[in-house]
A and B are shown apart, each in its own frame.
Chain A
Amino acid sequence: MALANVAWVLASNNKRVLLIDWDLEAPGLHKYMAPFLQDAELKSSDGLIDFVIDYAAEASRRATSSGDLQLDGATEEPWLASRADPLRFAIPVMWEFPDGGRIDRVPSGRQGPSYATRVNSFEWSVFYERLQGAAS
């Protein structure tokens, strides 16, 4: 709740705010913004877990047979530019803040029968250590 309130205060003071719900095990950030969201229950809104799975799937497809993902000099490759951009999953909060302020939100992920599987099956250590998942 504190995070949602801070975001709201910042947006009310002309700031552009991006909220990312990293609490994958118990996502709840969307609940505080529910009156201002089109998909308040996250039934059709992809989010963070979908973003990392999408990236990992493409990165592992491009990894060499030695198991390394080579990104040297490849940072401008179209696939990386698109797959590594979480703003693809940003959803605006429907409220008109003064003077350009706004809140965008990347939810935890689409809720439904497969959400727990996506969260529990994702190999974070491979993502960070072998697929260049960490920001540099």
Chain B
Amino acid sequence: MVSFIAQEAATRERFLSDFQSLDDALPHHLKDAEDRQIVLVVLVDPWSLTLENYRKMIAPCDELRPFCAIIVTWNAEDKEAESSRPLLQVVLGQSLPRVAVAIRHPAFFRDSPDSRARLQGEIQATVTEVYMRMLQARSAKLGLTADPPPSVSNAQGVPRSG
């Protein structure tokens, strides 16, 4: 189900998508995405992280990479998941301590979607955000930097009063 939502979201953003299930090949997918400049969005079901095998598999994602972002999928209609959410948040933090706890920046990690519509919107926004970040990284790597745009207000840097 989630894969269909993700693929629809990618299509709406004009991306070709490929779905990979989580397995031991994740480090290979990460390397491949970096080498080929592919946007990689990792969708995490918090329930899966209660299993040690999955926690080990997801561990390589716990780093900041320009081409990668993580989205945790919740289901507000699942009463058991909602009642267990505090516990699942702990497990999530233990599984992804850097990305989900220490940094927890929306550019790399999101855990707000709890409905199909919100999940699709978050995936759309994330895919594009990662893509734009990759373009900026490519520009920086090539030295394609330019002067910052001029500020039109408070150009002298005078502290604001009040």
Binding site for B on A (CB under 8 A): 44, 46, 50, 53, 56-57, 60-61, 63-67, 112-114, 117-118, 121-126, 128-131
Contacts and interface: CB of A to CB of B under 8 A. Distances in A.
A125 B149 contact: yes
A58 to B, nearest CB: 11
Contacts of B111: none
Given A56-B135, A67-B142, A125 B147 contact: yes
Interface in B112-162: 121-122, 124-125, 127-129, 132-133, 135-136, 138-139, 142-149
Give chain B's interface residue range (CB within 8 Å of chain A): 20 to 34
B144 A130 contact: yes
B147 A123 contact: no
Most buried by A among B121, B125, B147: B125
B13 interface: yes
Contact of B133 (A53, A56, A121): A121
B142 A123 contact: no
B36 interface: no
A118 B148 contact: no
Interface centre among A63, A112, A128, A131 (most CB of B within 10 A): A112
B129 A117 contact: yes
B132 A63 contact: no
A114 B13 CA distance: 8
Contacts, number: 68
B119 to A, nearest CB: 11
Q: Would you list the 3 A-B pairs with minimal beta carbon distance, nearest first? A: A114-B128, A125-B146, A121-B132
A113 B122 CA distance: 7
B132 A122 contact: yes
Contacts of A117: 125, 128-129, 132
Contacts of A128: 146
B79 interface: no
Contacts of A114: 13, 124-125, 127-129
B146 A112 contact: no
12 contacts: A44-B12, A53-B135, A60-B144, A61-B138, A67-B143, A112-B12, A112-B121, A113-B121, A113-B125, A123-B136, A123-B146, A130-B145
